[in-house]
Amino acid sequence: MKAVARCPNCHASFNVDRASAGRRTKCPKCEQSFLIQFDEPTPEAEPDPIRNVPHSPPPTPQRVSSVIRAAADSTPPREENRKLRPIAVPLWAMITIPSIACLIIGYFIGREHSKQQMERAVADIGKAFTEGLTSEVPAISPSSGLSSNLETESEKPTPHPRMLIGERHAAKGFSIALTNASIDKSQVKDLMGNVGVGQNPDLVLRFNVVNTDDRRILRFHEGNMFLPGHFRLRDDVDNVIRGVNYGMGSKPVGALTGAEDIAPGASATHIELFSVPLPKTKFLILTVDLACFGDQGEIEFQIPADKIKR
């Protein structure tokens, strides 16, 4: 294959075989020898012809979600340590809820007695109003004042009938007697029905009540925290002996409640608890309000100190 070679001396060009590249030759024009070098670069090897290679079809994409789901299903569940967040109770709820609960309990405990007291109060007001209209005004003489006339016509208060242990008082529809007085640890039943024994000894007063009516049912009217009690105790020097209370809803075993009925002709036992009197006490005076069994007025029992069992 021919190629153009150029003489470096005279710059003459002529054709020589390409295979003689790198050899020395003589210029036909200036007759100078030179090293054959071609102006054109040696052509690079031709690339191989492109062959049609059959293409394989692309692989079908697999469902990765099913694989992941299967792997997730096979993975054992992990136990999470979760801590419960403490519930913060507001301060107003801590104060209001117990107050409402105490109010409701007090209402149900004292509704029967409150109803009786209201009926008595209305009856007393009506009676006083009627007596005031029908009574005559005392005459006032010039020689005597109003105070002297009122003092002579006013009635003196009748003393309470006083009885000893074992004596019975007959009232309207029932009779009551103080049968026993002792100092001992009392049995108490709480609101849930559990029975326990007091830690300290108390003065235990035991009564016997008989329904003397042949038709009416006798019921005991309990006291409550809003009204004075039906049983009051003092000693010979007028020291008040406080009653013993073991909590709301707690009652001594054997004490009557408003839910118990005493049938006509039947008898029942009632118990009241008081603090132990002072050692030098000579006798005690127990005042009983007969309104606890639906009657009016008060009676008194005198309890000598030597009659109290210890």
More confident residue, 287 or 102: 287
**Helix/strand/coil (H, E, C) string of 50-84?**
CCCCCCCCCCCCCCHHHHHHHHHHHCCCCCCCCCC
**pTM tops 0.85, yes or no:** no
Domain-located, residue 145: no
Domain-located, residue 94: no
pLDDT exceeds cutoff 70 at 191: yes
Give the span between the Cα atoms of 22 and 75, in whole angstroms. 76
Domain-located, residue 53: no
Alpha carbon 130 to its chain's center: 51
Structural domain boundaries, residue 9: 2-35
CATH number for the domain harbouring residue 170? 2.60.40.1240
Residue 205 sits at φ, ψ, to 5 deg, of -110, 125
Domain-located, residue 203: yes
More confident residue, 162 or 79: 162
How many domains is the chain built from?
2
Nearest to 284 by CA among 192, 172, 164: 164
More confident residue, 113 or 6: 6
Domain-located, residue 173: yes
Q: Which of 43-47, 109-113, 178-182, 221-225 has the lowest mean pLDDT?
A: 43-47
pLDDT per position as a tens digit, 119-168: 666 666 666 666 655 554 444 444 444 444 444 444 555 566 789 999 99
> Where does residue 286 fall: left (phi above 0), alpha (psi -120 to 50 degrees), or beta otherwise?
beta
Contact 218, 239 (CB under 8 A): no
Domain-located, residue 213: yes
Nearest to 216 by CA among 292, 296, 294, 270: 294
More confident residue, 21 or 300: 300
Domain-located, residue 157: no
> Which 3 state secondary structure label does DSSP give 174?
strand
Domain-located, residue 101: no
Partners of 271 in beta bridges: 206
pLDDT exceeds cutoff 50 at 107: yes
